[in-house]
Amino acid sequence: MSKEQTRPSDSLVQDLLTERRELKVAVERLKLQLADAQAAGGGGPDPRVKEMQDEIERLRYQLASSRAEATQLREERDQLRAGIEKALEQLNAGDE
């Protein structure tokens, strides 16, 4: 075989060099994006998480209070209904 046959073609070399350049650019772009993401995030947990957890706890307490109040109102309603029914029975018994 001659030397010409064992060497890669010039177009293949150019293609590989182009791909290498593109990959280097992509790597640098990703490094910049990573640095930006780390700087924006401060490297720690999102500070909004604590605020959201506090808000969830407040809403849970409010929900529990509302449920307790609803239960109390139902009991009062039932007592009033029973009193009205008893009064109606007494009125009906007095008419007879």
Q: Please give the share of the chain, as a percent, with pLDDT higher than 90.
A: 48
Residue 3 counted as domain residue: no
Q: Which range of residues forms the domain containing residue 68? A: 9-95
Residue 61 counted as domain residue: yes
Residue 27 counted as domain residue: yes
Cα(64)–Cα(71) distance, integer angstroms = 11
Mean pLDDT of 13-31: 89
pLDDT tens per residue, range 59-94: 999 999 999 999 999 999 999 999 999 999 999 988
Mean pLDDT of 50-57: 91
Residue 77 counted as domain residue: yes
Residue 76 counted as domain residue: yes
- What pTM value is reported for the model? 0.47
Domain count along the chain: 1
